[in-house]
Chain A
Amino acid sequence: MKKYIDSFKKYRFLLRELVKKGIKLKYRRSYLGIIWTLLEPLMEMAVLSVVFSAMYGKKDRAFPVYILTGRLLYSFFSQGTKTAMRSIRANGGMIKKVYVPKYMYPLSCVIFNFIIFLISLIVLAAVATVLGVYPSLWTLTAIIPLFTLFLLTLGVGMMLSTMAVFFRDLEYLWEVALMLIMYTCAIFYDPSMLAKTHTDWILKINPLYGTIKTFRDAVYGSSMFTEPYWIVMPLVFSFVTLLLGFWMFKKNQDKFILHI
C-alpha cells in the first residue's frame, strides 16, 4: 500500500499535466475555446426544451432546468467513460516507450472531464436563476450525487479502458449502451410517465438516474433524504464498480503493451 502511495506522490505532477493537457487540447484551435464548455450545454438545452415542450404541450417554466441537470450529468458520464476507454490506446505510443503508472491515463481523463463538467455548472446556475429556481441550504447536498457520479464514471472508465485494449469493438458497443442509458435516465421526460406502464423499475436499477434525481432535488432546493434509496443505491453501486474497475485494470495492465 505504501508503495502505491509513494508512486502516486511521485507521479502527481504527471497527473496534473495530463489533466491540463486534456482540458487545453480539447478546445485548442477553436475560436471560442473554453467558452464552448458553457455554450454547448446551453444550446443543447434550448433545442431539447423547444422540442419536448412542444411534444408534451405543457407550460412548465422551469422545464429547461430539469433538462439541463439531466443532460449535464449524463454528458459528463458519457464523455468521461468514452475518453477513459480510449485513453490506453490513445497513449499507446507513450506506454510502449516509458514507464509510468498506467492508471494515470484513464484517471486523468475522468478528472479533466469532471473539471469541464464543474465549469459547465455555471450555466445551470445562470439558467436556474433566470427561470426562478432559487437555491436553498439543501442545494449544498448536491455534493453527494456529484461525488457518487465521479466514482461511478471512474469505475466504469477503468473497466472499459481495460477491456477496450483487448476488444476494440467495445468502443462501438459502448456508444449503443450509452444511448440505452440515456433513455433510461429520465433526462427529458417525467419519471411518472414510466410508472403508468409499470416500467419504472428501469429507473430503480439505474445508478446514473439515482444521481440525476438526487442532484435535481438539490438544485430545486428540496431534501433528497426523504427517499434514501436514491442516495444509497448509486453510492454502493459506484464503490463496487470502482473496486472492480481497479482490480481488473491492475490484473491486466502488464498485458496491455502486447496488445496496443
Chain B
Amino acid sequence: MPNYAIEVNDISMKFNLSQEKLDSLKEYFIKFVKRQIKYNEFWALKHINFKVEKGDRVGVLGLNGAGKSTLLKVIAGVFKPTEGQVIRHGRIVPLLELGAGFDSQYTGRENIYLYSSVLGYSKQFVDEKYDEIVEFSELKDFIDVPIKNYSSGMKSRLGFSIATLVDPDILILDEVLSVGDAKFRKKSENKIMGMFDSGVTVLFVSHSIDQVKRLCNKAILLDHGELKAQGNIDEVAAIYEEMTK
C-alpha cells in the first residue's frame, strides 16, 4: 500500500459572489423580505480528487483563475472546502503569502516573533533560531526599523527566512521562488532544494513551465476548477502546453 502524504477527497469550493455588495443590515433586510438576494454561485473547485505519495513533488498547472491558489489554500487549511475533505499526514509548511501577518507598525524584530507565532512556532524555538533568521534574511541593519519602511523585497526576504525555519513534511509553494533580488533568489532556491533532497513532499505552483519541469516529478492540471489531468510531469506538461498554444 502506498504511503500518502496528502489525500484530497472529492473537494468542491463554492464562493458566493454577491452581485451587489450587501454590507448593511437595512439593505439585507429589505432585500431579504423582497426575496431579492441574488448570489452568483461560483464553484472555484469542482470535485477534485487526488492523492500525493510521500516524497512526490507535484506541480500544479493551470491558467489564471483555474483554482490553483484556492486548491493550495484548501490543502493548507486556510479555506474550509464546501464539500469533501483533505487528509494530511505530517507537518505542512505553506509558503503561500510570505509575511501575511506582518504588522507594518512593528519593527523587523517584533515581526519575527509575531509571524512565527502565526505559523504556530513556540517562543523557545524562535529564541533559539532568531540569529539564524536575521542572518539568512540579511536584514541585520534594519531589524529595529518599522517594517512599513521596508521595501517589498525586504519584506519577502524576512517572510521567507521565518517560514522556512522548520523542516516540513509537506511543503506548499506558490510562486515563492521569485523572492528578492537575484542573489537572494539563488540562496532561497538552494534552501528549498536542500529541503527537496531531504525527501519532503512538495506542492508547487508556478507559471514557469520550465521551472516546474525541472523541480517536479508529477503534476496535476486544473482548468476552471476541474481536474483535467494528473500523472507524470512530462505527460501533464504536454497537455498543458497543448492547452496554452
A residues within 8 Å of B by Cβ? Answer: 10-11, 13-14, 16-18, 21, 24-25, 28, 93-94, 96-100, 167-170, 173, 254, 257-258
Evaluate contact between B100 and A97: CB separation under 8 angstroms.
yes
Whole-angstrom CA separation of A257 from B78 in the bound complex: 9
Task: Check if B94 is an interface residue, CB within 8 A of chain A.
Answer: yes
* Chain B interface, DSSP helix/strand/loop, else mixed: loop
B173: min CB distance to chain A, Å:
15
Which chain A positions have C-beta within 8 A of B116? 13
Judging by beta carbons under 8 Å apart, are A13 and B117 in contact?
Answer: yes
- Give me the 7 closest cross-chain CB pairs, A-B, nearest first: A97-B100, A14-B117, A99-B77, A17-B117, A169-B25, A97-B97, A254-B80
Count residues of B near A (Cβ-Cβ below 8 Å): 31
Chain A residues whose C-beta falls within 8 Å of the C-beta of B24 in the assembled complex: 167-169
8 of the cross-chain contacts (CB-CB < 8 Å) are A13-B116, A94-B100, A96-B78, A96-B100, A97-B101, A99-B77, A167-B24, A168-B23
Check B122–A257 contact: CB distance below 8 A: no
**C-alpha spacing A254/B96, complex, angstroms:** 20
Instruction: Say which residue of B28, B101, B106 sits within 8 Å of A94 (CB atoms).
Output: B101
Nearest CB in chain B to that of A91: its residue: B101
Please, how many angstroms separate the alpha-carbon atoms of A254 and B121 in the complex?
Answer: 23
Q: A13-B117, A93-B100 are in contact. Are A170 and B25 (CB under 8 A)?
A: yes
B114 is an interface residue with CB less than 8 A from chain A: yes
Shortest Cβ distance from residue B168 to the other chain A in the assembled complex, whole angstroms: 14
Bound complex: CA A11 to CA B120 (Å): 6
- B123 interface residue per 8 A CB criterion: yes
Set of chain B residues within 8 Å of A14, measured between Cβ atoms:
117-118, 120
> Are A17 and B100 also in contact (CB < 8 A) when A98-B118, A257-B79 are?
no
> Which residues does chain A contribute within 8 Å of B25, judged by CB atoms?
167, 169-170, 173
Does B34 sit at the interface, judged by CB under 8 A? Answer: no
- Give Cα distance in the complex from A14 to B103, angstroms: 14
How far is B103's CA from A99's CA once the two chains are assembled, in angstroms?
Answer: 17
Within 8 Å by CB of B120, from A10, A94, A97, lies A10
User: Shortest distance in angstroms between B102's beta carbon and chain A's nearest beta carbon?
Assistant: 9
Verify if B151 is at the interface (C-beta below 8 Å from A). Answer: no
